[in-house]
Structure 1
Amino acid sequence: MKMPNNGIEIKHIDKGYHSIAYFVLTLSWLLSFYKKPNKKYLIVILCIILGIIIEVLQDTITVYRTADYFDVLANSVGVLFALVIFNIFLRKKTIN
């Protein structure tokens, strides 16, 4: 779906949206498996792979979308930031 143009343009703001979306996705999964901390790296790897697969699919099965390496990078940054926040939260929880 093509979004209407409102006249305000911020270059590469979609990369921020990608990071936020994958941050929320990853943090949700990490918190869901909070009791199984040995699964956290599997969750991180699978979220990064999901981002790559979605980029490849939008390039191959659509005619109006293209894959973007910077989207994959933004997705991965969101995933890794969620892991960092989760580890900080987990460390504080185990200290208290």
Structure 2
Amino acid sequence: MHNKKLLAIAWNVLILVFCLINLSNINEVQKIRIPHLDKVVHFVFYTTSSFLWSWALLNKKSSAYPLNRLLIVLGLILFGLMIEFLQDILPTHRSFEWLDVLCNTAGVLFGTTIYWIYTRWKPHNS
């Protein structure tokens, strides 16, 4: 398997693990309180994920480029939604939050935009 794909898969496994483990003690460990830090983390996780998947799978010379880009966006949004539902039904002491879904979606859109900008201004064979 290609290294770019392995990196994207590993990143999504990391997201899955961090979103499904019990983090109720994090406030005791965290020295500096940052409001809505978890929302920023969701945004960064999904920005990175969408960039990595775009980098691994998209070929701007392909006629399927727009469809593949759409599939990456929809797939990652559904992945985030699935994790939110799992948080609600598994004994993780976490719950479904629409704001997390919004932050995930914003991250996916931002990551694919960053990838588009990256490929637009840096010509290469991707």
TM-score normalised over the length of structure 1: 0.86
RCO comparison, higher one (Cα < 8 Å, 6+): 1
What's the counterpart of residue 26 of structure 2? 3
- Gaps (5+ residues) in structure 2? 1-21
Query: Percent of aligned pairs with the same residue?
Result: 33
What's the counterpart of residue 23 of structure 1? 47
Task: Tell me whether 1:80 sits opposite 2:109 in the alignment.
Answer: yes
Residue 63 of structure 1 and its aligned partner are, at CA, apart by: 5.3
Residue 20 of structure 1 and its aligned partner are, at CA, apart by: 0.4
Q: What is the CA–CA distance in structure 2 between the aligned matches of 1:48 and 1:34, rounded to whole Å?
A: 17
TM-score normalised over the length of structure 2: 0.67
The change in CA–CA distance for 1:58 and 1:90 in structure 2 (over 3 A counts) is same
One-letter amino acid matched to 2:52: S
- Gaps (5+ residues) in structure 1? none
What's the counterpart of residue 50 of structure 1? 79
Q: In the comparison of the two structures, how many residue pairs are matched? A: 94
- Partner deviation per Cα, 1:73-92 (whole Å, 9 max, x = no partner): 01011100011111112222
Task: Tell me whether 1:14 sits opposite 2:43 in the alignment.
Answer: no
One-letter amino acid matched to 1:31: W
